[in-house]
């Protein structure tokens, strides 16, 4: 009898296979490790990398299906399968793959090896993929929480360092707040539109159909709260206060993961909410996005200048990068056309993948230079790196120049993309502010370079623990550098590939 009334929606198993693979990998890792004798060295990392690769390859296969059959929704309108969602899923899978490789030696160096962190990477990735493919506010919230809770634990996962615990707690408390804001926003939007489904919200809150905007205040408050929640996740000013402490406190590979996959997922979700659920309200939220983007650009780069710890510098620089990505979002808000399309959206997507590789590469170098206990992440820890490890210093230099947006690196292409999108919609003020704030940020990167290449050695430098770069870390760093340079010199293929 129940069978007749309770009919589950049709499930396209192949379409959700990346999510299933990530989930399966995480569970297997936890269960199998508990039940089997100790695994050989590298095996956790390689297993995680393989899982992420599998999920990534499955997403690439979906890409072809979307190419042939167009975008579609899955599991009763809960998820959507389109190119932007797949693009971000692939970005996240790449981030997991690369972060797992950095983490491997890090955990053994710190003496906290185990499968937990890897399982959390996979779970967080799962949350991120769900977020960016969500077609319903509740589903989006589920993804957001899966990602966030995993990130709280990951940030605090270095049991031997108080800073790590402090960062984790701080992130957890503030993140809880922002989730509450987001949830309240969902409730208000539901009140206005009568549904949490993106398609129904779009129709329900459309000015020509149904609503005559009598629920304006309700919906506007809802939009504002949703924006707060999302701005917290992408670390936009003034919701960025957790960033420096958490980035500094978290184990460096986890920081890399937060800055790459975390940001990609959050921006994916932001685009979904703004472009797909609320395109009819773009006139209302576009000024807010403009303001947040301006603040984020300026505050991020100015605050980075006054830091002395490289992880904190990079934390604020990631805030500034979020500002750049917001420029693309702002440009997209000027022209809300077909869902998830246009120059603005594609510039954001391209920025996300380039920045993900870039920032993981940078933090990979920081992982090596930080030495045991992440103790030497101050600027002084980089002193004399060019003498002792010239190749590592060179790699870091390329990555920093890319972060500064110097031509012939991927960073320049990413910036060029968002700036073009902004200029195309005549947002000149924001474009110029962005480029000027890039100059301020460049000062920060120059300081790190000066420390590596120019500053003279000081007494006691020779007694420091030497910087070790294990093979897997080398693989990561050199592929990040290679990707950055290739995209910088021959960006055509990436530009045409971006949805």
Q: In this structure, what are the phi and psi dihedrals at residue 187, rounded to the nearest 5 degrees? A: -60, -45
Helix ranges (H only) for 111-215 are 116-133, 137-155, 162-193, 198-204
Query: If we measure between CA atoms, which residue out of 91, 94, 95, 84 comes closest to residue 154?
Result: 95
Q: Which is nearer to other proteins, 460 or 492 (CB)?
A: 492
Q: Which is nearer to other proteins, 37 or 492 (CB)?
A: 492
Q: Which is nearer to other proteins, 27 or 457 (CB)?
A: 457
Query: If we measure between CA atoms, which residue out of 15, 28, 21, 27 comes closest to residue 52?
Result: 21
In the bound complex, what is the minimum distance in angstroms from residue 396's beta carbon to other proteins?
Answer: 14
- Binding-site ranges for other proteins (CB under 8 A): 401, 406-408, 412, 416, 419-420, 423-424, 428, 431-432, 435-436, 438-439, 442-443, 446, 450, 453-455, 491-492, 495-496
Q: Which is nearer to other proteins, 252 or 484 (CB)?
A: 484
Q: Which is nearer to other proteins, 225 or 449 (CB)?
A: 449
In the bound complex, what is the minimum distance in angstroms from residue 438's beta carbon to other proteins?
Answer: 7
Residue with tokens 């890409």: 63
In the bound complex, what is the minimum distance in angstroms from residue 13's beta carbon to other proteins?
Answer: 35
Token digits of residue 438: 């890039």
In the bound complex, what is the minimum distance in angstroms from residue 50's beta carbon to other proteins?
Answer: 34
Contacts 24+ apart (CB under 8 A), 108-116: 108/41, 109/372, 109/468, 110/158, 110/160, 110/251, 110/372, 110/373, 111/160, 112/157, 112/158, 112/159, 112/160, 113/44, 114/33, 114/44, 115/29, 115/30, 115/33, 115/39, 115/44, 116/30, 116/157
In the bound complex, what is the minimum distance in angstroms from residue 230's beta carbon to other proteins?
Answer: 27
In the bound complex, what is the minimum distance in angstroms from residue 170's beta carbon to other proteins?
Answer: 33
Q: Which is nearer to other proteins, 133 or 392 (CB)?
A: 392
Task: Using the Cα atoms of residue 309, residue 315, residue 318 and residue 319 in order, give the sign of their dihedral.
Answer: negative
């Amino acid at each position: 009898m129940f069978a007749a009334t309770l009919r589950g929606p049709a499930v396209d198993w192949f379409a959700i296979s990346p999510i299933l693979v990530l989930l399966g990998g995480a569970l297997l890792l936890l269960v199998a490790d508990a039940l089997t004798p100790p695994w050989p060295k590298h095996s956790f990392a390689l297993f995680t990398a393989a899982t992420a690769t599998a999920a990534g390859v499955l997403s690439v296969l979906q890409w072809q299906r979307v190419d042939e059959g167009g975008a579609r929704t899955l599991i009763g309108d809960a998820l959507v399968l389109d190119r932007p969602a797949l693009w971000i899923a692939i970005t996240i899978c790449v981030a997991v793959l690369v972060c797992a490789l950095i983490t491997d030696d890090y955990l053994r160096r710190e003496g906290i090896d185990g499968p937990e962190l890897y399982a959390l990477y996979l779970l967080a990735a799962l949350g991120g993929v769900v977020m960016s493919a969500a077609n319903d506010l509740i589903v989006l919230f589920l993804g957001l929480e899966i990602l966030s809770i995993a990130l709280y634990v990951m940030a605090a996962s270095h049991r031997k360092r108080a800073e790590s615990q402090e960062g984790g707690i701080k992130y957890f408390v503030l993140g809880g707040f922002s989730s509450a804001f987001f949830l309240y926003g969902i409730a208000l939007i539901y009140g206005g539109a009568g549904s949490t489904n993106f398609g129904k919200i779009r129709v329900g809150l459309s000015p020509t159909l149904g609503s005559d905007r009598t629920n304006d205040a309700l919906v506007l408050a809802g939009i504002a709260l949703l924006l707060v929640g999302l701005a917290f996740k992408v670390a936009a000013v003034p919701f960025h206060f957790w960033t420096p402490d958490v980035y500094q406190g978290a184990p460096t590979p986890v920081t890399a993961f937060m800055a790459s996959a975390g940001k990609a997922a959050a921006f994916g979700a932001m685009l979904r909410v703004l472009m797909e659920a609320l395109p009819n309200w773009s006139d209302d939220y576009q000024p807010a996005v403009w303001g947040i983007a301006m603040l984020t650009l300026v505050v991020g780069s100015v605050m980075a200048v006054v830091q002395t710890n490289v992880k904190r510098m990079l934390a604020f620089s990631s805030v500034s990068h979020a500002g750049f990505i917001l420029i693309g979002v702002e440009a997209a808000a000027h022209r809300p056309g077909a869902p998830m399309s246009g120059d603005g959206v594609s510039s954001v997507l391209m920025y996300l993948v380039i920045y993900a590789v870039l920032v993981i590469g940078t933090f990979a170098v920081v992982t090596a230079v930080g030495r045991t206990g992440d103790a030497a992440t101050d600027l002084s820890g980089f002193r004399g790196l060019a003498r002792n490890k010239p190749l590592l210093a060179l790699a870091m230099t390329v990555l920093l120049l890319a972060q500064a947006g110097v031509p012939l690196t991927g960073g320049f292409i990413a910036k060029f993309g968002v700036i073009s999108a902004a200029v195309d919609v005549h947002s000149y003020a924001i474009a110029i502010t962005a480029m000027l704030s890039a100059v301020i940020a460049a000062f920060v990167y120059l300081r790190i370079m000066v420390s590596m290449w120019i500053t003279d050695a000081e007494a006691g430098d020779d007694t420091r623990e030497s910087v070790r770069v294990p093979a897997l870390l080398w693989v990561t760093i050199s592929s990040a550098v290679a990707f950055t340079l290739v995209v910088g010199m021959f960006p055509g293929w990436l530009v045409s590939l971006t949805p």
